[in-house]
Amino acid sequence: MIKVTGLSKRYGTHLAVENVNFEIAKGEVIGFLGPNGAGKSTIMNILTGYLSMTQGKVEIDGFDVAEYPEDAKKRIGYLPEIPPLYIDMKVREYLNFIYDLKKVKFPKKPHIDEVLKLVKIDHVQNRLIKNLSKGYRQRVGLAQALIGNPDVLILDEPTVGLDPKQIIEIRNLIARLGRNHTIILSSHILSEIQAVCKRVIIINKGQIIADDTAENLSNKLSSDQSLVARIACSEKEMYEALSSIKGVKSVTSLGKKEEGSFDFVIEPENGVDIRAAVFERVVSRNRTLLSLTSNKVSLEQVFLRLTEAADNNEARKLLGIEEIPQITEETNEEEN
């Protein structure tokens, strides 16, 4: 449905997006994840035809955005970072305008009624957008993207500024829309991406550093199956007790995290499940096991580790991806 090849965008001397490639199949819901200024919005603006690319090609449903902009744009609903609203219009009036602007073919009134209901703004349809709260404006922006029922939805941080209840509502809505739309969602909120997207593209400094399912990403990064145990005991005694368990490779004490207890990281030998053994050992010493958790990294940690890596090649190494040369010869020539 969406095919991006060799996409680069240069602002003056600053390279905002560098050689980005990905493909999104029909019906996929993917998340763009990246810190602020990573180039998420720039990529989205290029996909929707708002900005041009310096290099590369974007195809929406087979239509090149640069060559057949109108055919490509017809298939996209776009919610930019700041919802594009005429604040001097009423909600319904504004949606009518967008309907006319997009030259939608569906019957007008029922279609707009449907969209209003879908994003739950039918009760504010006769209010001026100026007087709506940020959350409602965001939803009007989403409604605007849904007008004309486009195949592709590109949503740039759709839940920013919403309260927790609204966030859950919008998330559910996106999940529902995901059944029959292709959706690209950007966010720096990880739980959000985890909740609605199967596939995650992590972007840092204008490059894609990871493109995989959220699960695979955290598996790849956490080769260790170590456990973290919090035990009410004395440090030295328990350290020895834990180290002598069969199948334990190493034990590291993390020191006192909570009054009267110590934390230990217990690393098992490959493929050995030591959880029961740890529990029994603690009980046999008449001590109390307060908690036992997996040390597996969350998507949040994946994200931090990848984006805090000194450069993108280092980040790729963490994931076991081959290095790619940072600057291609072609761009070098251009600079000269």
Partner 1 sequence: MTAIFKREFKSYFSTPIGFIVIAAFYFFLGLFFSITFGYGSPYLEQVVMAMSTIVVFAMPILTMRLMSEDKRQKVDQALLTAPVGLTSIVMGKFLAAMSVFAIGFAPTVIFEIIIMTKVSVNILGYLYALLGMLLLAGALTSIGMFISSLTESTVIAAIISFIINILVLYMTSFASMIKVEWIANIINRLAFITVFENFGGLVFSVADIIYFLSIICVFIFLCVRSLEKKRWA
Total of residues contacting partner 1 (CB under 8 A)? 29
Q: Determine if 3 is a binding residue for partner 1 (CB under 8 A).
A: no
Q: Determine if 63 is a binding residue for partner 1 (CB under 8 A).
A: no
Q: Of 3 and 102, which has the nearer Cβ to partner 1?
A: 102
- The first and second tokens of residue 82, run together, are 């700041």
Residue 77: CB atoms within 10 Å: 25
Q: Is 121 exposed, middle or buried (0-12, 13-18, 19+ CB in 10 A)?
A: buried
Q: Judged by CB under 8 A, which of 144, 159, 194, 307 binds partner 1?
A: 144
Q: Determine if 50 is a binding residue for partner 1 (CB under 8 A).
A: yes
Residue 119: CB atoms within 10 Å: 20
Q: Where does this chain touch partner 1 (CB under 8 A) — which range of 14-22, 42-50, 207-215, 217-225? A: 42-50
Q: Determine if 80 is a binding residue for partner 1 (CB under 8 A).
A: yes
Q: Judged by CB under 8 A, which of 4, 15, 43, 98 binds partner 1?
A: 98
Residue 272 DSSP label: -
- The first and second tokens of residue 159, run together, are 């839940």
Q: Determine if 64 is a binding residue for partner 1 (CB under 8 A).
A: no
Q: Determine if 279 is a binding residue for partner 1 (CB under 8 A).
A: no
Q: Determine if 265 is a binding residue for partner 1 (CB under 8 A).
A: no
Q: Determine if 76 is a binding residue for partner 1 (CB under 8 A).
A: yes
Question: Are β-strands 55-60 and 63-64 bridged in parallel, bridged antiparallel, or unpaired?
Answer: antiparallel
Q: Of 11 and 279, which has the nearer Cβ to partner 1?
A: 11
Residue 55 contacts residue 204 (beta carbons within 8 Å): no
Q: Determine if 86 is a binding residue for partner 1 (CB under 8 A).
A: yes
Residues 6+ apart with CB under 8 A from 247: 268, 269, 272, 274, 277
> Crossing angle for the helix pair 91-101 and 134-146, nearest 10 degrees?
30
Minimum CB separation of residue 224 from partner 1 in Å reads 45
Residue 135 contacts residue 162 (beta carbons within 8 Å): yes
Residues 157-196 that bind partner 1 (CB under 8 A): none
- The first and second tokens of residue 79, run together, are 């919610």
Q: Determine if 102 is a binding residue for partner 1 (CB under 8 A).
A: yes
Dihedral angle at the C-alpha atoms of 308, 310, 311, 316, nearest 10 degrees?
A: -70
Minimum CB separation of residue 201 from partner 1 in Å reads 21
Minimum CB separation of residue 77 from partner 1 in Å reads 9
Q: Which residues bind partner 1 (CB under 8 A)?
A: 11, 45, 48-52, 69-71, 73-74, 76, 78, 80, 82, 84-89, 97-98, 100-103, 144
